[in-house]
Amino acid sequence: MKTIKLAVGVFAIVMGCAAQAEGVDFIQPKDGDTVTSTFTAKFSVDGKKLAKSNTETPGTGHHHLLINAVDVPENHTIPRNDQYKHYDKGQTETIVFLPPGKFKLTLQFGDGSHRSYGEKYRKSIEITVVPDKE
């Protein structure tokens, strides 16, 4: 009986952790990193599936990188400009070019129509950019 209770307890903990894992994350860079002006950014998503823009399948979407930008509320359309980068093909990696300085990068997952999935699918980090090495 103790083995069954232990197994049920472990299962509950694992399921609780899995539920909390939904969202987006930066694989690189990480919060507080110093990078050069040209760097690779890598993204991940848990709880949704990657799809190209204009895909209207529920539970799918693509990444958006916000650079020193205001967060986009859930169900609002993510703008398209120099501060709001769209990865319409379902990309999980990109090369970023930024001038030296401090930046807030926000990863926002959005649906096929570029509507934000909101706070649960948003993560911000701060990085410092230094000049590329010659």
CATH number, domain containing residue 67 = 2.60.40.10
Over residues 74-93, mean pLDDT: 98
> Is the residue at 4 inside a domain?
no
Instruction: Work out the end-to-end distance of the chain between its first and last CA atoms, rounded to an integer number of angstroms.
Output: 66
Q: What is the pTM of this model?
A: 0.83
**Residue 83 sits in which domain range?**
23-130
Kindly report, residue by residue over 37-59, the tens digit of the pLDDT: 999 999 999 999 999 999 999 99
In Å, the largest CA–CA distance within the chain is: 66
Assigned domain for 69 exists: yes
The mean pLDDT value for 104-121 works out to 98
Does residue 9 lie within any of the structural domains?
Answer: no
Residue 12 lies in a domain: no
Residue 28 domain flag: yes
Cβ atoms within 10 Å, residue 110: 27
Which burial class, exposed, middle or buried, applies to 12 when counting CB atoms under 10 A from its CB (0-12, 13-18, 19+)? exposed
CB atoms within 10 A of CB 71: 14
Question: Is residue 13 scored above 80 in pLDDT?
Answer: no
CA nearest neighbour of 123 among 42, 50, 7, 35 = 42
Count: domains in the chain: 1
